Amino acid sequence: DGGYYTVTPDGRPFIARHGAQNAFVCSGMGTFGLMSSPAAGELAALLALGKPLPPHAEAFDWPRKAAVERALDLLDDSA
């Protein structure tokens, strides 16, 4: 057994407030946890400090505001 990974149904992690005003969730990174942890930590810190969030932060909100057809690729700069 190689272990278990937490993954969300749409492949995007949850990085958002959860319940109480001072509770946050940062989970569901799947196999990209080590690679995505610096960006996830930065976003979680902005949330905790009440700072303005970047436009892509909504993609990691919980619960999701809308269903997504495909996973978000933050490294895709073709647009």
Looking at the whole model, is its pTM more than 0.75? no
Sign of CA dihedral 78, 41, 51, 71: positive
Mean pLDDT of the chain: 82
| Residue 79 in tokens | 């647009």
pLDDT digits (tens, 9 = 90+) for 7-26: 888 888 999 988 877 889 99
Q: Which helix (H) or strand (E) holds 14?
A: strand 14-17
Helices assigned H by DSSP within 1-79 = 33-49
Helices (H) and strands (E) in the chain, counts: 1, 2
Widest CA span in the chain: 42
| Residue 76 in tokens | 């895709």
